[in-house]
A = this chain, B = another copy of it.
Amino acid sequence: MNEKAINEIMEGVIKSVVEQLSENAPHISVYEGSSETIPVELSARHVHLSEADAIELFGAPLTPVRELSQPGQFLCEERVRLIGPKGVMDNVAVLGPARTSSQVEISKTDARILGINAPVRQSGNIAETPGIILASQTGIVGLEEGVIIAARHIHMSTADAARFGVADNEKVSVRLEGERPVILEEVVVRVDDSFKLAMHIDPDEGNSAGWNKKVQGKIVSIAGGAGNGLLSH
């Protein structure tokens, strides 16, 4: 038996072992990418307003008061009241700039309190979502749709994406290294050169992970698609 034959056998054995391991743990893939960590930010409940809805509620365009981590995004001086069939939430943050359509992002906990059956969606994807009533001190607006539970996601620049070996819209599993460690699966990667590296989770996810501002995320697997350095499916 010559060296070439031995190498062929070895390759066959390695392939077979790797395949078996993948079959035994179909949702676990061994990702050989970066061990770089990702800052994890908690998105508390908030509202994005269209220009028309902002004027209806406040009689004027939105007033920036503080910049947010994603470039161009800001917290506004204005606050709104959310009115649902079962409950009310006051003093809810409004984020700018104004968008084409108003959108309300709440947690599942909030959804139960308000009595609104909000689906888990990526920001901007509000077709056939429930509506809500927004109120200020001086105005009221009824949204026909726009209430979502924001799906967890990671903002990345193209340089970040290349480093992590992931592509826009790809899903990854991320380990949060908090007091109650968890791996969040199906976290959507969103790539845009205006984005600053940050993972966004909601308060329910934060509470169940024992989140604090120091908690970091680590990509432990890529669910498929364009990712490289990927062992299984």
Contacts and interface: CB of A to CB of B under 8 A. Distances in A.
Interface of A: 1, 6, 9-10, 13-14, 17-18, 21, 24-25, 27-28, 30-32, 107-109, 120, 151-152, 173, 175, 179-186, 202-205, 207-210, 220-221, 231
A contacts with B: majority SS: mixed
Contacts of A207: 107-109, 204, 208
A184 B182 contact: yes
Nearest to A12: B10
A27 B182 CA distance: 11
Contacts of A1: 1, 6
14 contacts: A17-B18, A18-B21, A21-B231, A25-B28, A28-B30, A108-B208, A108-B210, A109-B109, A120-B179, A151-B180, A180-B186, A181-B186, A204-B207, A205-B208
Contact of A30 (B24, B181, B220): B24
A109 B202 CA distance: 12
Given A10-B13, A13-B13, A182-B184, 9 more contacts: A9-B9, A17-B17, A25-B31, A28-B220, A109-B109, A109-B203, A182-B185, A183-B185, A202-B208
